[in-house]
Amino acid sequence: MASQIDTLARERLLKDRSAAAEVIVPGEPPHVALLRLCDAGLLHGGLSVALGVRPDELVGPLTLAMGGAARSFKLVDVRERGTLELHVLVGELTERWEVEDLSALVHNLNDLYREAPDVRAIAVLGEWADSLQLLCVDKRSVSRLLRQPFFAPMNARSLQSLTESA
């Protein structure tokens, strides 16, 4: 069976194999090692987002990490009415998204770009070191990653549905 580092390297998610080996603590659960790698900036497509960051502040870095058509995503207005309301330009239409937190933003972006093969899916890996760890992965890799014991994203069910619709 391939090691976690080997699998991440094969999926082209690992930036530096030797640095990754230093970050992983022997004997800790494999999903914790993935959180550590993301927090250390060693994963391609990985983002470590402070828990206090608002969804409108994350849009730019997140859509950049998603790549492809997501790079042209436009946030045209932000309003606070109890729940944060984002007005986004989708093609020629403006949509209104109510987003309570970062996970809701991730859900909306994954759903918006569900059919776009050039846009990476966003996995919510979990919280580590007072930050939310996110990983943008090629949709073609999602099914393989979900079979790995170390890949247990909080939004696994919605990621699985992305692969079924693709």
Domain count, the chain: 1
Cβ neighbours, 10 Å, residue 150: 19
With H, G, I as helix, E, B as strand and everything else as coil, classify residue 16: coil
Domain that holds residue 35: 4-155
164 within a domain of the structure (yes/no): no
Dihedrals phi, psi of 44, to nearest 5 degrees: -65, 130
Residue 166 lies in a domain: no
Amino acid at 136: C
Q: Considering the domain boundaries, does residue 64 fall inside one? A: yes
In this structure, is residue 137 part of a structural domain? yes
- Residue 69 placed within a domain: yes
Q: Which long-range contacts (CB under 8 A, 24 or more apart) does 89-95 make?
A: none
In a domain, 94, yes or no: yes
CA distance 162 to 143: 9
User: Is 162 a member of any domain?
Assistant: no
**160 within a domain of the structure (yes/no):** no
- At 165, list the tokens: 């619709």
**What pLDDT is attached to residue 165?**
59
Which ranges of the chain have pLDDT less than 50? none
Sheet holding 93-99, edge to edge: 74-81, 83-90, 93-99
CB 99 within 8 A of CB 107: no
Specify whether the CB–CB gap between 42 and 23 falls below 8 A.
yes
For residues 118 and 132, the answer to whether their CB atoms sit within 8 Å is no
How many residues are present in the chain? 166
